[in-house]
């Protein structure tokens, strides 16, 4: 079975809904020449009514990372993250605004803090 255009959209949770069912998205938008860009993982767990985005962005010599958490919404990502798909698998728009921490969190992982005084828009 191959992928369809609908596979790049949010999915309808199964019915009945297991408590631990989740949908995950992972975006890597990186300019290797300039060594800047962003990575973002979005986890959506409708059975627990929560979704979360872990984000790290780098521009110039500055980095910022944060975790954005909010209520599950079937039709969109967590507040602070906007996704747009104009042409599945060809034209994707990703926008995020967050106040982040300029350093890694515990154990060296990025996006382990809920926010901070660093600003990033990508």
CA distance 82 to 54: 14
Q: Which of 48-57, 84-93, 100-109 has the lowest mean pLDDT?
A: 100-109
pLDDT of residue 103: 65
In 3D space, the residue among 55, 54, 63, 17 whose CA is nearest the CA of residue 36 turns out to be 63
Global pTM value:
0.78
| C-beta separation of 80 from 53 below 8 A | yes
Domain extent for 109: 5-121
Provide the domain count of the chain.
1
pLDDT in tens, 8-57: 888 889 999 999 999 998 888 888 888 888 889 999 999 999 999 988 88
């Amino acid at each position: 079975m191959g992928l369809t255009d609908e596979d790049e959209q949010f999915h309808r949770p199964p019915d009945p809904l297991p408590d631990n069912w989740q949908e995950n998205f992972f975006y890597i938008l990186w300019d290797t020449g300039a060594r800047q860009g962003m990575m973002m993982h979005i986890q959506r767990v409708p059975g627990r009514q929560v979704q979360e985005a872990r984000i790290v962005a780098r521009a110039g010599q500055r980095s910022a990372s944060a975790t954005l958490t909010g209520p599950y919404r079937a039709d969109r990502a967590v507040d602070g993250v906007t996704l747009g798909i104009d042409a599945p698998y060809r034209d994707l728009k990703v926008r995020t605004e967050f106040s982040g921490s300029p350093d890694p969190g515990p154990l060296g992982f990025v996006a382990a803090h809920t926010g901070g005084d660093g600003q990033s828009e990508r």
